[in-house]
Amino acid sequence: REDLMFTYKGIPYPTTLCSYEVFKAMESFEARSDDMILAGFPKSGTNWFGHILLELITTFEKKTEVEPTIYGEEFDEFPYLEVGDTEKYQRMKKIPFRRVIRTHLMSQNLPKSVFTNKAKILLLLRNPKDLATSFFKFSKVMAPFPTYDSWDEFFKDFMTGNIPWGSYFTYLSEWNKHADDEHVMPITFEEVKENPLLGVKKIAKFFELPLTEEELKGVAERSSFQAMKNNSKETHGVFGNVLFRKGGVSDWKSLFSEEQNQEMDKIFEECLAQTKLGAKIKYNVWCK
């Protein structure tokens, strides 16, 4: 399992997706104030929110008849900042404006220009129990991630942060330092699941993509779990079934023992309960 990960600045990453070379090359990345950054720990709904953004931008650009800015030939889909080849930063430079960039990185490991140049960051949050559940199920079938024979084994590594991209609790504590930044908007998986139209409206407003009620409704419908799952063979090939697994809330109850449940409650209480992001993850509602 150790062979599948390497450590960079104290955080483990999967060797199949990231490398020292990419992190070095990332230093040449210069963020812009019109960049749209989608930040979220793996399994927090990155593909879902990426799709919402894609729908919002294409709808907006179609109606305003501006030159489409969506990556086109340069990339198949929105690039992850720290995943892929070392040449990507050069290709990203060619995108004239409104670049959408995804990242699983903790805030302190992002290029500094993201904060100094005030790129807009949509910070995706998900209740840690469902995120751990989703991560475990994903690890079982996805070759790039270390796999686990049992949930108990995975749970231990999740709690100590010995998984790709490290500890979710550290992730949340670090990002909490930016919870009040005006160019950062935290949003939860659960609030958008509960009210997709309201979620889509918040995102459109944050990124200054003015659309009509009808258009926003269309975006919400085309981004529903079912719509995305139905489309997943086309968009993600054989990975479709893995990426669009259940898309719900509270699946953690099928895996956690009472002891594990208490252990996670305890760590949350200790490091996140008093924080702004902790409050956003309405722990008592979604995790108990």
Instruction: Give residues in contact with ligand A3P (CB under 6 A).
Output: 42-48, 130, 134, 137, 193, 223-225, 228, 243-247, 251
Quick one: tokens of 139? 């690890």
Residue 286 CB, shortest distance to ligand A3P, in Å, is 13
Question: Which residue number, 185 or 273, has a Cβ lying nearer to ligand A3P?
Answer: 185
Q: Which residue is nearest to ligand A3P (CB)?
A: 247
List strand residue ranges (DSSP E) for 151-246, in order.
184-188
Residue 246 CB, shortest distance to ligand A3P, in Å, is 4
Active site residue 104: yes
Residue 182 CB, shortest distance to ligand A3P, in Å, is 25
Distance CA 45, CA 65 (A): 30
Amino acid at 150: S
Question: Which residue number, 25 or 135, has a Cβ lying nearer to ligand A3P?
Answer: 135
Quick one: tokens of 254? 């099928």
List strand residue ranges (DSSP E) for the chain, in order.
5-8, 11-14, 36-40, 100-103, 120-125, 184-188
CA distances from 157 to 89, 227, 279 (A): 32, 33, 25
Question: Which residue number, 25 or 122, has a Cβ lying nearer to ligand A3P?
Answer: 122
Question: Which residue number, 218 or 247, has a Cβ lying nearer to ligand A3P?
Answer: 247
Residue 197 CB, shortest distance to ligand A3P, in Å, is 13
Coil vs helix vs strand at 103: strand
Q: Of 55, 242, 40, which is closest to residue 134 (Cα–Cα)? A: 242
Cβ contact 36:101 at 8 Å: yes
| From 104, 178, 183, 236, active-site residue | 104
Catalytically annotated residues = 104
